[in-house]
Structure 1
């Protein structure tokens, strides 16, 4: 029987407007590995009513399913994830003051091997799906707190333009070398 190897998951996370999708796509291209897009973006673009706690649960399920489908097809040593469902916890807490229990339970059951936490040093870019241009420092603190609570292995990456990608590649290379 052919036992499938463990494919490492590298997550690109951070507050709004920090370049997560751009960096995730660029890193996947650089390393020539699959990447998992942010399911919530597609989901929220289709919403016709304000987001509810049930929508957050739906986004959780969508992100997990998308990630599992990419993992099932991956033939590489790792994949890149454009955010994780930890974002569902952060947004649920911010908007509704609570996190659905299914998300809390899954946080411990679905670890990521390494997180790249993107800094808030990029200028804010308006987007209809972004909500908190004046609370970036607050959400950066929230990300640090949540990652520390999980005991996550993570590094903060800053830089503008190509420097941001170069710095992200550098921390992922350091992580990768520490695992072989």
Structure 2
């Protein structure tokens, strides 16, 4: 188990499972900073630029995903310098690789290499049994099950601890806090000198 100075908690999973809302609640609870999902910000900027020009919805490129993974990781590492014991991240570069797979049907070596350099202590994976809420940007309602299963599969293989966050919206924040507290308690226990 990794027990660094700042515990890095990353929320990943299918769309519309409450990840961003949980990030905000967790950051408030721990009086710390959180890192927003840069891929969404990037996509909204591309959509806005395209709507000014008129025409079709813009396409994703390999370079987009490489840039998103790099920028997500850069923002996370910068935020870690200002975190109060816990850093909360709404996705990471590893997740960007899985989104590339969702769109391209295959993995991308360069994106995966960036994701492999991620520092993660604990993943929280909200499950997709809650209702899908379309916000005008999301497109993955039909593949929520696949995305969730793929994240669980890949994180399970990575060996990084993870916790599923289940059930209705109410109670998810409490589950996430309990998971973080349990991880912090194990870290403190391991840090105690042997008698």
Structure 1 length-normalised TM: 0.90
Q: How many residues align?
A: 175
* Map of 2:70 onto structure 1: 61
Contact 1:23/1:165 (8 A) holds in 2: yes
Q: Is the 8 A contact 2:129 2:167 kept in 1?
A: yes
| Alignment RMSD (CA, Å) | 1.5
Determine if the alignment matches structure 1 residue 7 to structure 2 residue 15: no
Aligned to 2:43: 44
1:102 & 1:138 partners in 2: Cα distance? 23
Indicate conservation of the 8 Å contact 1:53/1:96, yes or no: no
CA distance in 2, matches of 1:107, 1:65: 12
Q: C-alpha deviations, 1:54-101, integer Å up to 9, x for none?
A: 111111111011112211233x22211111112211111121133332
Choose from 96, 104, 115 the match for 1:88.
96
The CA distance in 2 between the partners of 1:40 and 1:175, in whole Å, is 28
How does 1:70-109 map onto structure 2 within 5 Å? 70-74=79-83, 76-109=84-117
For residues 69 and 111 of structure 1, do their structure 2 counterparts lie closer, same or farther at Cα, with a shift above 3 Å needed? closer
Structure 1: any 5+ residue segments left out of the alignment?
Answer: none
Query: Does residue 1:111 correspond to 2:119, yes or no?
Result: yes
Q: Which residue of 2 aligns with 1:30?
A: 29
CA distance in 1, matches of 2:110, 2:82: 26
| Equivalent position of 1:16 in the other structure | 15
Contact 2:92 2:118 in 1 (8 A): no
Distance 2:96 2:153 in 1: 15
Structure showing greater radius of gyration is 2
Question: Which sits farther off after the overlay, 20-29 or 107-116?
Answer: 107-116
121, 138, 142: which is aligned to 1:134?
142
Please list every run of at least 4 consecutive aligned residues from structure 1 whose deviation after the TM superposition is greater than 4 angstroms: none
Separation in structure 2 between the aligned mates of residue 147 and residue 30 of structure 1, nearest angstrom: 26
Give structure 2 stretches of 5+ with no counterpart: 51-57, 189-195
